[in-house]
C-alpha cells in the first residue's frame, strides 16, 4: 500500500522479481485526509484484492515505531497517531486485525530501487528522491538506509523546497519543463552540497517523463538517473518491509497464514515490538533476495520528533 497526498494505491507484489503481481488499484485520497478517512481508503484497496495476509504501507511523513510523527500533505491529526494499529484494526475488522508494517513513503521507494532498480549494486551515498505532491527522500550509505530524512522540507531560497520544486508546484504554477527543471536543478545542487552523493535516483510519477527534464539539468556532479520502478517503487518497498520486519505471507498467497508481526530485534538481541521499518541494509546485487534476508537486517531508529506539531 502506498498512501500519498493525492492517491492511495496498492497491489500484491512478487518479491522474487520486485514486480506487481496484479494491476494496481487506486482510490483518491480523501479531503480532509484524516486518519480514519484514509484508513477507509486503504481498506477499500486491500478488499479489492481479497487480501487477508500481512500488509506493508507507506506514509508521506516521519514514521517511528508505527506512529506517524509529521503530516505535511495530509491532515494534522495524523501527528502522534498509532497509524500501524489503526490500519491493522481497520483492514482486519478488529480482533487483532491484519499485521501492518508502516514506513515512510520515500524510504519504501528507496528500498525497492536499491534492491531491484536503479540503485542495485551501487555503493557510496545514493539519494533517492520522489517527486509528487511533495518531495520525498531516501538516503543510503553503502546500502544502509538513513530513515526519515524528509529532504523535501529543506529550506531553499526562503521556501520549503517541495513548495517550489515538486510536481504539484509545476502543475499549480503551470511551469514548462525548462522552468521546472531549473528549480529541480537548484534543489539537487543544495542536496548535493549537503550529502555529496555519487548517485541521484529520480522517482515518482514524473519519472516516466524523465527524458523531458533530466537532460535540462546541468552543473550537478553526481550521476542522475530515473527510477526503474517508477511510481510502483513505494508499493514494492512496502511489501519488502513486511518481510524484514518479520511479517510475511504464506506460500498460498492471500489465504495463507502470516507469521506474527514485529520489528527487528533490539541491539541486545531481545525481540522488538516496533511495527515500522526505520532502516534496512540492502544486499549487494549478488546477495540474497529479500525473502532470504534475516529479520535482523533492519535497524530501528530511535530518533524522536518532539516538535513535530510545529
pLDDT tens for 134-189 read: 999 999 999 999 999 999 999 988 999 999 999 999 999 999 999 999 999 999 99
Query: Among all chains, which residue has been given the C-alpha cell 520502478?
Result: 229
For 270, counting Cβ atoms within 10 Å of its Cβ (0-12 exposed, 13-18 middle, 19+ buried), the class is exposed
Q: How far, in whole angstroms, is CA 176 from its chain's centroid? A: 28
**Mean pLDDT, residues 234-242 taken together:** 96
Q: Which residues contact 167 (CB under 8 A, 6 or more apart)?
A: 131, 132, 133, 204, 205, 206
Q: Measured in Å, how far apart are the chain's first and last C-alpha atoms?
A: 28
**Mean pLDDT, residues 227-233 taken together:** 93
| Separation CA 105–CA 96 (nearest Å) | 25
- CB neighbourhood size of 52 (10 A): 18
Q: Which residues contact 281 (CB under 8 A, 6 or more apart)?
A: 143, 144, 145, 297, 298, 299
DSSP character for 50?
T
Percent over 90 (pLDDT), the chain: 70
Omega into 32 within 30° of 0, i.e. cis?
yes
| Separation CA 83–CA 305 (nearest Å) | 16
**Mean pLDDT, residues 7-15 taken together:** 96
Whether the model clears a pTM of 0.85, i.e. scores above it, the answer is no
If you average pLDDT over every residue of the chain, what do you get? 82
**pLDDT surpasses 60 at 288:** no
Task: Tell which wins on pLDDT, 131 or 293.
Answer: 131
The predicted structure's pLDDT at residue 245: 62
Q: Which residues contact 52 (CB under 8 A, 6 or more apart)?
A: 98, 254, 255
pLDDT tens for 44-55 read: 999 999 998 899
> What confidence category does residue 98 fall into, taking pLDDT thresholds of 50, 70 and 90?
confident
| Separation CA 283–CA 111 (nearest Å) | 10
Residue of 107, 41, 40, 32 whose CA lies nearest to 77: 32
| 16 neighbors 289 (Cβ within 8 angstroms) | yes
Amino acid at each position: 500500500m502506498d498512501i500519498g497526498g493525492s492517491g492511495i494505491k496498492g497491489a500484491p507484489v512478487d518479491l522474487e522479481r520486485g514486480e506487481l503481481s496484479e494491476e494496481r488499484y487506486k482510490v483518491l485520497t480523501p479531503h480532509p485526509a484524516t486518519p480514519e478517512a484514509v484508513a477507509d481508503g486503504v481498506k477499500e484497496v486491500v478488499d479489492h484484492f481479497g487480501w487477508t495476509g500481512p500488509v506493508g504501507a507507506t506514509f508521506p511523513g516521519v514514521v517511528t515505531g508505527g506512529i506517524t510523527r509529521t503530516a505535511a500533505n495530509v491532515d494534522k491529526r495524523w501527528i502522534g497517531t498509532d497509524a500501524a494499529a489503526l490500519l491493522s484494526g481497520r483492514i482486519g475488522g478488529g480482533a487483532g486485525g491484519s499485521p501492518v508494517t508502516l514506513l515512510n513513503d520515500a524510504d519504501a521507494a528507496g528500498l525497492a530501487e536499491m534492491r531491484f532498480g536503479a540503485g542495485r549494486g551501487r555503493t557510496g551515498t545514493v539519494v533517492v528522491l520522489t517527486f509528487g505532491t511533495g518531495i520525498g527522500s531516501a538516503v543510503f550509505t553503502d546500502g544502509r538506509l538513513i530513515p526519515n530524512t524528509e529532504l523535501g522540507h529543506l529550506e531553499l531560497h526562503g521556501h520549503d523546497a517541495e513548495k517550489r520544486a515538486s510536481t504539484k508546484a509545476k502543475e499549480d504554477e503551470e511551469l514548462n519543463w525548462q522552468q521546472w527543471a531549473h528549480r529541480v536543478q537548484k534543489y539537487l545542487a543544495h542536496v548535493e552540497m549537503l550529502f555529496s552523493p555519487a548517485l541521484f535516483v529520480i522517482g515518482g510519477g514524473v519519472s516516466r517523463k524523465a527524458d523531458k527534464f533530466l537532460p535540462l539539468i546541468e552543473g550537478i556532479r553526481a550521476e542522475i538517473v530515473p527510477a526503474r520502478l517508477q511510481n510502483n517503487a513505494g508499493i514494492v518497498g512496502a511489501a519488502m518491509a513486511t518481510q524484514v520486519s518479520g511479517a510475511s505471507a504464506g506460500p498460498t498467497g492471500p489465504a495463507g497464514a502470516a507469521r506474527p508481526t514485529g520489528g527487528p530485534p533490539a541491539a541486545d538481541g531481545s525481540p522488538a515490538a516496533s511495527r515500522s521499518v526505520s532502516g534496512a541494509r540492502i544486499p549487494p546485487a549478488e546477495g540474497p533476495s529479500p525473502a532470504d534476508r534475516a529479520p535482523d537486517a533492519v535497524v530501528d531508529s530511535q530518533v524522536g520528533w518532539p516538535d513535530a506539531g510545529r
